[in-house]
């Protein structure tokens, strides 16, 4: 006899599918609904055991938040080049204390993050990188694909660019846009900082603020 181990999440998914299948729902619908009730695992996949180093507030955000809400200060670069890029990319306007909502939607290989600054959307796809010697996350923003190094510590998470591609073409980091992110806990709340710069132009866009989980998946009670 061969015994195999099944994770608690797989057991939960099996039971959920079995119960709902009796109500006549399709397999595709059931799979989608069960995934929406499973803990998010993007950062755990990228960081492995290092994920346990980061503060509990950050772990909770990346495990059990389906939607998070808070406020952010949005800034733009002052040069004509920065203003042109922001206009073409339809990036949020510079403002202080902007209401912000971020939703995390499962996609193949990762998550789709939709940030809404006072209702104005800003969306990127976040995926786990594979085959790298360092913890790697891929972020797709329009035609750009950022391959980023993810570093965990007891202070939080730092994200720095390692490679950038424009479509199928790799770009030298000296010629590529640079996006740097930082996640911390400030006064007991999840805090974030993101800044985007371009060569020869400097700062183009940035935002920082705080978020609280607003919509949790069912397993949030397990934290």
pLDDT per position as a tens digit, 27-52: 444 344 444 556 788 999 999 999 99
- For the chain, the domain total comes to 2
Task: Mark whether 17 and 106 lie in a shared domain.
Answer: no
Provide the mean pLDDT of the chain.
Answer: 83
In a domain, 190, yes or no: yes
Task: Mark whether 138 and 76 lie in a shared domain.
Answer: yes
Q: Is the pLDDT of residue 126 over 60?
A: yes
Task: Mark whether 109 and 131 lie in a shared domain.
Answer: yes
Asked whether the whole model's pTM tops 0.85, one would answer: no
Task: Mark whether 100 and 125 lie in a shared domain.
Answer: yes
CB burial readout 46-62, b (16+ within 10 A) else e: bbeebbebbbebbbebb
More confident residue, 2 or 33: 33
pLDDT at 37: 57
Task: Mark whether 182 and 134 lie in a shared domain.
Answer: yes
Q: Is the pLDDT of residue 109 over 50?
A: yes
Q: What is the mean pLDDT of residues 108-134?
A: 92
Print the domain residue range for 18.
Answer: 8-38
Task: Mark whether 28 and 54 lie in a shared domain.
Answer: no
Looking up tokens 């809400």 gives 69
User: Is the Cβ–Cβ distance between 173 and 160 less than 8 Å?
Assistant: no
Looking up tokens 């104005």 gives 120
Q: What is the pLDDT of residues 176-215, one digit of tens each?
A: 888 899 999 999 999 999 999 999 999 999 999 999 999 9
pLDDT at 29: 42
Q: Is the pLDDT of residue 5 over 60?
A: no
CB atoms within 10 A of CB 217: 18
Burial class (CB in 10 A: 0-12, 13-18, 19+), 187: exposed
Q: H-helix or E-strand containing 14?
A: helix 8-21
DSSP state of 3: -
Task: Mark whether 137 and 173 lie in a shared domain.
Answer: yes
Closest CA to 106 of 33, 214, 210: 33
More confident residue, 7 or 174: 174
Task: Mark whether 59 and 16 lie in a shared domain.
Answer: no
Q: What is the pLDDT of residues 62-99, one digit of tens each?
A: 999 999 999 999 999 999 999 999 998 888 899 999 99
pLDDT at 223: 46
In a domain, 107, yes or no: yes
Q: What is the pLDDT of residues 130-169, one digit of tens each?
A: 889 999 999 998 888 999 999 999 999 999 999 999 888 9
pLDDT at 89: 83
Task: Mark whether 87 and 108 lie in a shared domain.
Answer: yes
């Amino acid at each position: 006899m061969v015994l195999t181990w099944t994770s608690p999440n797989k057991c939960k998914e099996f039971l959920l599918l079995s119960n709902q299948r009796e109500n006549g729902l399709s397999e595709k619908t059931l799979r989608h609904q069960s995934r929406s009730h499973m803990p998010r695992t993007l950062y755990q996949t990228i960081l492995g055991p290092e994920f346990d180093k980061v503060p509990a507030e950050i772990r909770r955000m990346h495990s059990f938040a389906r939607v998070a809400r808070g406020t952010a200060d949005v800034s733009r670069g002052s040069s004509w080049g920065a203003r042109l890029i922001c206009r073409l990319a339809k990036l949020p306007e510079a403002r202080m204390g902007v209401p912000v909502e971020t939703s995390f939607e499962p996609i193949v290989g990762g998550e789709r993050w939709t940030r809404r600054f006072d209702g104005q959307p800003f969306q990127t796809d976040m995926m786990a990188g594979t085959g790298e010697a360092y913890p790697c996350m891929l972020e797709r923003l329009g035609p750009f694909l950022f391959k980023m190094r993810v570093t965990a510590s007891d202070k939080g998470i730092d994200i720095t660019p390692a490679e950038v591609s424009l479509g199928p073409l790799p770009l030298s980091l000296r010629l590529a846009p640079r996006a740097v992110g930082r996640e911390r806990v400030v006064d007991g709340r999840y805090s974030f900082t993101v800044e985007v710069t371009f060569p020869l132009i400097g700062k183009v866009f940035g935002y920082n603020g705080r978020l609280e989980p607003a919509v949790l998946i069912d397993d949030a009670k397990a934290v």
